[in-house]
Chains A and B, each alone.
Chain A
Amino acid sequence: MQPDTPVTTSASFRHGTTEALGAPAIAMGVTFLAFGAAVREAGLPLPWALAASLLVYGMAGQLVLLQFAAPGAPAGGVLPAALGATAANARFLPMAVAIAPWLGARRGRRWLALPFIAITPWAAAMRRLPALPAPARLSWFLGFALASWLAAAGATAAGHLLAPRLGAATRAALLFANPLYFALLMAADLRAVAARRAILAGALAAPAALVLPPAWGLLGAGLLGGTLAFLLGRSKGDEPGNRHGRG
């Protein structure tokens, strides 16, 4: 165990919160800032923007929802908006499956993590949780996730309020912070063989997303690349413990 490894529930919660309030909060915050501004431009109120950020809590789905649900949107409507957002965020299903075993042995308490399973907390947790003692894992995740969630809400509100001052070019640059942050996280994971294989396969499968219906493209590419990487790993006899980066 590392010297700074949190061992009590409250200490691990604090560690999770502290880790979230650095690069993750900034990367996520600027993206949600841009989203808040886009919601205001679409003519929807602040409570709608906050509810979308906190309850959908997945930027791809939020953007699809906004695109189809905004008043006067071409090809808009309730069902296309809800179904499109669901398809765009369907990655939450395999992410929840993957993270569940790391959230502690008490299965009932895992449900506390339910609203927070999204890319940023998931990516950070999959790197951090395997190195923590089992009793500290859920509280670390909740600390990280709650801080990220509140940062997302604050940034959304700020974006909605500041929309008239943010130009289109600024919003576009802010939206790029999120993929850049994930690229940095993946760079750390490249040291682990299985993770490297999945990341490279996902990048190579990305063009498949361009020929699938827009809402399903990302999940389709992930299923294709991830399944091929998994099968390749099985054929090469991967060690199970070699799946995650430790960076």
Chain B
Amino acid sequence: MAAADLALLLAALAMLVLRGAGLLVAGSLRPEHPFIAWATSVSQATLAAFVTLAVFAPAGAVASVPLPARLAGLMAGLGAYALLRGRLLPSLCVGLGALVAVRLALAG
């Protein structure tokens, strides 16, 4: 088995363990249980940290997009979301459109 295939197999098994452990640990707890509330808070905070890092300190290919373009995409998306009363798809398109437009403007 090639190294890349073995790494993928091990990672896939680890994902099952992570997800399974969560379902097992939650057991018969109710949504109001403090442990569930803590896990929800950690998950929401992780998601917020993920978005913050993607905008202000991205790794990989996103880092090649200039910060003003990333900020323009985020602000335009959120602005559209507020104006369009929470319609996700058009807001997403507006945000991505703003990112591409600002990037092109900066490059030109």
| One of A5-13, A91-99, A150-158 at the interface | A91-99
CA distance A202 to B51 in the complex (A): 9
- Which among B23, B36, B54, B61 is the interface contact of A179 at CB below 8 angstroms? B54
Describe A's contact surface by its main secondary structure: helix
B26 touches A94 (CB 8 A): no
For the complex formed, measure the closest distance between the CB of A239 and the CB atoms of chain B, giving whole angstroms: 9
CA distance A184 to B58 in the complex (A): 18
- Which among B3, B42, B96 is the interface contact of A177 at CB below 8 angstroms? B96
Describe B's contact surface by its main secondary structure: helix
A173 touches B15 (CB 8 A): no
Count of CB-CB pairs between chains A and B under 8 Å:
311
B interface, size bucket:
35 or more
A163 at the interface (CB under 8 A from B): no
B50 touches A218 (CB 8 A): yes
B7 touches A34 (CB 8 A): no
- B32 neighbours in A (Cβ, 8 Å): 240-241
- Give the residues from 48 to 72 in chain B that come closer than 8 angstroms, CB to CB, to chain A: 48-57, 59-65, 70
Nearest B residue to A100 via CB reads B26
- Give the residues from 91 to 130 in chain A that come closer than 8 angstroms, CB to CB, to chain B: 91-102, 107, 110-111, 113-115, 117, 119, 122-123, 126, 130
